[in-house]
Structure 1
Amino acid sequence: MVKYFCSNIDIKSTWDHVVSAFWQRYPNPFSTHVLTEDVVYRELTADHRLLSRRLLMKTNRLPRWAERLFPAGMSRSVYIVEDSIVDPVERSLTTYTWNLNHTTLMSVEERCVFLESVEHPATTQLKREAWISSSIYGFSKPIQEFGLARFKSNQVKALKGLEYALTNLQGEAPQRLLRDTVKDASEKAKEAAKTLASAAATPQKPQQYVGW
């Protein structure tokens, strides 16, 4: 059994601004649970799509009743993979995210699609979907209910964080901001690759991309 969530929101800002703000939404006062973010892969395809993979670490507070069931030393942080596709031709940004650890306890998969509104050029349409599941026998239903409630709360915070980043971008040129952000992220990706190499883990192009 999987809990499904779907929402459709109109963001009162142009698609260029939304994409620029997307890359600069952390840190913000509404997403203090996001601890780190790192670009681990980035590619500009021949058809001008920008593919990115980022690794984020977030806090993972369990409900009080669940804390009594799991070891005290269990990690309270969760690692999230975020794959994204920016398509400047179709004017779309698509993201796929899923957690790497604690998947037996709860697995959360999310897909977001940001589309430029055809009817309202100054508006960006956001469709957000999530699938929440648990493999804990006897407790899967309450865990999924908790996960769904927390996801709903966090997605409200995520939207506020994006709006916060949009406010900070007012008066700037979105095209230049997007270009500078891509350049900066590419440099960070190179630094991350060097770090992995020094640890004897040669970075390679991921073999599977969700939706790529």
Structure 2
Amino acid sequence: MKIWTTEHIFSHPWETVVQAVWQKYPNPMNPAVVGVDVVDRRVTKGVLKTHRLISTKWGLPSSVTKVLGADRMFYASEHSVVDPVKKSMILMSKNITFCKEVSIVEKMTYSPHPSKEDCTIVKQKAEVTIHGIPLSSYLEGFITGKISVNSSKGKQGMEWVITKINKDVQELTSKTVKSMDDLVHLSGEPLTNFSFRK
């Protein structure tokens, strides 16, 4: 078994980062993830629980695919829990493809940084275990290396998504302000003189 861990600080509020997680794929920085499907989603006592199926292409070398005896598409099951009151998001994922030979369990937690205002800390841990396959140590090292590379791309992808979200919000705000200005201009009266009936 090989264990890989990392931490990263996003200079964005927790709410923004969590919103970006849902919109993370597809992104140009990490084209390995080719599909995300929601299997189940429900809110229980104010906590959002989601089950998603993740489809990825790892681009494994032919020597590895020969050992595993499969194509290059991999599937993983992801369960997440978002608690907006506690400001906590936990994602747990486990591979479905080759689960008898290769076990990849990942956990990611997103929470507000304890000392940096409007920052979010993400902690990521992956456990890779190979069962009954030759060169298991090599494969565990190769897979954890891939996880590390994809994690780096994932952080870049998150920043790309957050920039896109912020741009969309600015455009929407600008359009709303313009529409309100147009409404006031057409009416010939300041907006404060309008009364709304119930």
Work out whether the TM-score is over 0.5: yes
Q: Distance in 1 between matches of 2:5 and 2:117?
A: 24
Match of 1:94 among 80, 86, 90: 90
Greater Rg over alpha carbons, structure: 2
Structure 1 residue 118 corresponds to structure 2 residue 114: yes
Structure 1 residue 58 corresponds to structure 2 residue 56: yes
| Stretch deviating more after TM superposition (133-142 or 110-119) | 133-142
TM-score (norm 2): 0.80
Structure 1 residue 153 corresponds to structure 2 residue 149: yes
* Matched residue, 2:123: 127
* Matched residue, 2:134: 138
Q: Distance in 2 between matches of 1:164 and 1:137?
A: 38
* Matched residue, 2:166: 170
Q: Distance in 1 between matches of 2:10 and 2:128?
A: 25
Q: How many equivalent pairs are there?
A: 171
Q: Distance in 2 between matches of 1:70 and 1:133?
A: 14
Which stretches in structure 1 are left out of the alignment for 5+ residues?
A: 174-212
Residues 104 and 136 in structure 1, CA contact (< 8 A), matched pair in contact too: no
Give the partner amino acid of 1:163.
E
Q: Distance in 2 between matches of 1:139 and 1:11?
A: 37
Give the partner amino acid of 1:154.
N
Q: Write out per-residue CA displacement over residues 158-212 of structure 1, whole angstroms, 9 at most, x where no aligned residue.
A: 1111111011111556xxxxxxxxxxxxxxxxxxxxxxxxxxxxxxxxxxxxxxx
Task: State the identity %.
Answer: 26
* Matched residue, 1:24: 23
| Stretch deviating more after TM superposition (10-19 or 104-113) | 104-113
Over 3 Å counting, the alpha-carbon distance change for 1:78 and 1:68 in structure 2 is closer
Q: Write out per-residue CA displacement over residues 6-38 of structure 1, whole angstroms, 9 at most, x where no aligned residue.
A: 111111100010011111111100121111111
Q: Distance in 2 between matches of 1:20 and 1:109?
A: 23
Listed as ranges, the matches of 1:12-51 within 5 Å are 12-46=11-45, 48-51=46-49
Structure 1 residue 107 corresponds to structure 2 residue 103: yes
Q: Write out per-residue CA displacement over residues 102-158 of structure 1, whole angstroms, 9 at most, x where no aligned residue.
A: 124422110000001232221001111010111134321111011111111111011
SS at match of 1:75: coil
Q: Distance in 1 between matches of 2:114 and 2:16?
A: 16
* Cα root mean square deviation, aligned: 1.9
Q: Distance in 2 between matches of 1:90 and 1:54?
A: 22
SS at match of 2:63: helix
TM-score (norm 1): 0.75
SS at match of 1:18: helix
* Matched residue, 2:187: none
SS at match of 2:67: coil
Residues 33 and 58 in structure 1, CA contact (< 8 A), matched pair in contact too: yes
Which structure carries more strand by proportion?
A: 2
Q: Distance in 1 between matches of 2:67 and 2:124?
A: 32
Greater relative contact order (Cα 8 A, min sep 6): structure 1 or 2?
Answer: 1
Give the partner amino acid of 2:128.
I
Q: Distance in 1 between matches of 2:71 and 2:65?
A: 11
User: How far is the alpha carbon of 1:70 from its aligned partner?
Assistant: 4.6
